[in-house]
Amino acid sequence: MASPSTTLNWDDLRVVLAVAENGTISGAAIALRISHPTLSRRLRRIEQRLGVRLFDRTPSSCRPTEAGEEMRVLADRLRDDIVALEGRIAGRDQNSRGPVRLTAPDAVSEYLLPGMLAKISREAPELTIELTVSNQVLSLAQRSADMALRVTDAPCPALRGRRVGTVAMAVYAENSLATARPKGQSADHPWIGYDAALACTRPGAWVATNVPDSCIRFRANTLLGAAQAIRSGIGFGLLPCFVGGSIPGIVRVEPPIASLESGLWLLLHPEIARVPRVRAAYDALVRMLKTAAPLLSGKAS
């Protein structure tokens, strides 16, 4: 049995096929909708794993070696087989019954989705939503999920979907702490900070820039951890407005910070977009997320 380090997969074959058909790295990168440096690295890693050169490179072209040509022929055949298979099975699954796998970050899953998923369960009992809570970007291309909710301003261009909201962030505090706060900026305010896991994010960078380190009383590695620390009265902290606006006992003490706004996108892989059950779940979530716009943007009362 081949070791995992040398086992080929379809993505490897697609890379080799694209380079062979386009004759250049740049042309293959455009065809695969990835960057030139990314494709070059992937091709080098494939050759290193296999221990063989797959292309003879010149400044203007890439010509397959004998090994590269063997891979090209195999990839071309597999592509034809996949297309033929899709043609045979297309249309067999024309009902909206079955599972739909959704992935979303922890804060979105905890504070935004429960009511929506409950409503979908009531209105479309033929659907089974399988929610994977993850702050990692699970690959839709590798079918780790059918749909993904992602807080980003730059969604992957290879995915299909739409922006379903704007996520605003603001400073929140527990009621008594907010009431006792002196007017103006005070170095004595206790604050919730973020550890290294979130330090490089925009909220982490904002806290590092605007809050003296001496004011940090607690550091959290997730937004959920920060939310609970704020709720407990440990200190002031940044939260998405849909989180802060959903927690009893805490209040927003400043308007949303414009520089921390991000888009909320509902994305799906193009090859799964036409499956009826996925489309039904997608359309239902889009409708519900539209109604949540005031909460997401911090404009809800």
Tell me the per-residue pLDDT of 45-80, one tens digit each, with 9 for 90 and over. Answer: 999 999 999 999 988 889 999 999 999 999 988 887
DSSP 221: S
User: Would you kindly state where each structural domain of the chain is located, as residue ranges?
Assistant: 10-89, 98-167+262-297, 169-260
Chain position carrying tokens 């929506």: 116
Q: Per the structure block, which two tokens stand in for 15?
A: 């890379």
Q: What is the pLDDT of residues 230-245, one digit of tens each?
A: 999 999 999 999 999 9
Task: For 10-89, give the CATH class.
Answer: mainly alpha
Q: Which amino acid is at 79?
A: R
Give the pLDDT of residue 42: 92
Contact 128, 280 (CB under 8 A): no
Amino acid, res. 279: R
Domain at 169-260: CATH code: 3.40.190
pTM reported for the whole predicted model: 0.65
169-260 shares the fold of 10-89: no
- What span, in angstroms and rounded, lies between the C-alpha atoms of 142 and 145? 8
* CATH class of the domain whose range is 98-167+262-297: alpha beta
